[in-house]
Chains A and B, each alone.
Chain A
Amino acid sequence: MEAASPNGIDVDEIPEDKVILFDEGIPGLPDCHRFVLLDLAPDSAFQVLQSVDSPEVSMIVTVPWLFFPDYAPELSDVEQASLAIGGPEDVALFCSVVLTPDDKDTVFVNLMGPFVVNPGTRRGCQFVLAGSGYPLRAPVKLPEVPA
């Protein structure tokens, strides 16, 4: 069976207890429900959110507080209830990252649409924080890579 993704990850080899379930899918990808979080490289500030359902679907993600220590997204009661969040221990949060060809040393973090996962249930959701004032593309300048 051809299971390896273009990224060399065999999605059939991912243990079920590592899977994060996005019941509603995510905006733009309503049919991608199962994801897994993978390391990119040792000590990298970035990880990979990999779809288990569609191996070609993955995105780079990061913990936003590494770069935006004042980031304080507020989840509504409805949003908290949707993931059975009772307290801070029920929240793992990360944001997607966009690279652009024009910005060699800058990446852009989506602070408006954070991914929130309840580690206890391994269910997640991408919340759309409309009206929060947080941008879709918050620039992060990274240390330049020596040529």
Chain B
Amino acid sequence: MLVLSRKQGESVVIGNDILVTVLEVRGDQIRLGIDAPRSITVHRQEVYLQVASENSAAIASADRESPLLRRPVPGAVAKPDLEP
């Protein structure tokens, strides 16, 4: 891991188009400003890990033979419409 010291108002540049700026330091909280291209998603790590963990749980529990899932649910037959 690369470790850098930065003061309030200073930034680090990641690659050619990501800029992370220390906006404010108050007690044990640091506010960061992140300038990144639209294609780069930025998340708080704990939220991202929750979703990643839920994806793992969905994969681990994906039982295609489950009678519960295979039976028609009255009034619930819509499918994602992927036709353009």
B-binding residues in A (CB < 8 A): 7, 20, 23-24, 26-29, 37, 39-48, 57-61, 63, 65-67, 78, 81-82, 92-94, 96-100, 104-105, 107, 110, 112-113, 117, 119-120, 122, 125-126, 128, 130, 136-137, 142-143, 145
Contacts of B77 in A (CB 8 A): 43-45
| Minimum CB distance partner of A118 in chain B | B84
Cα A49 to Cα B49 in complex, Å, equals: 20
Total count of chain B residues near the partner, CB < 8 A: 41
Q: Is the CB of B71 within 8 A of A145?
A: yes
Q: Is the CB of A59 within 8 A of B76?
A: no
Contacts of B39 in A (CB 8 A): 23-24, 82
Say how far B35's CB is from chain A's closest CB, in angstroms: 12
> Digit string of B36-63 for contact with A (CB within 8 Å is 1, else 0)?
0011010110011111111111110111
Q: Is the CB of A110 within 8 A of B58?
A: yes
Q: Is the CB of A66 within 8 A of B78?
A: yes
Can you list 21 A-B pairs, Cβ within 8 angstroms, ordered by A? Answer: A28-B56, A29-B55, A37-B80, A44-B77, A47-B79, A47-B80, A48-B64, A57-B59, A58-B64, A63-B78, A66-B73, A66-B76, A98-B54, A99-B66, A113-B54, A117-B80, A126-B51, A128-B51, A142-B68, A142-B71, A143-B71
Q: Is the CB of A48 within 8 A of B52?
A: no
Pick from B62, B68, B79: contact of A63, CB under 8 Å = B79
Q: Is the CB of B71 within 8 A of A44?
A: yes
Also in contact, A92 and B81, with CB within 8 A (given A7-B64, A136-B50, A136-B54) = yes
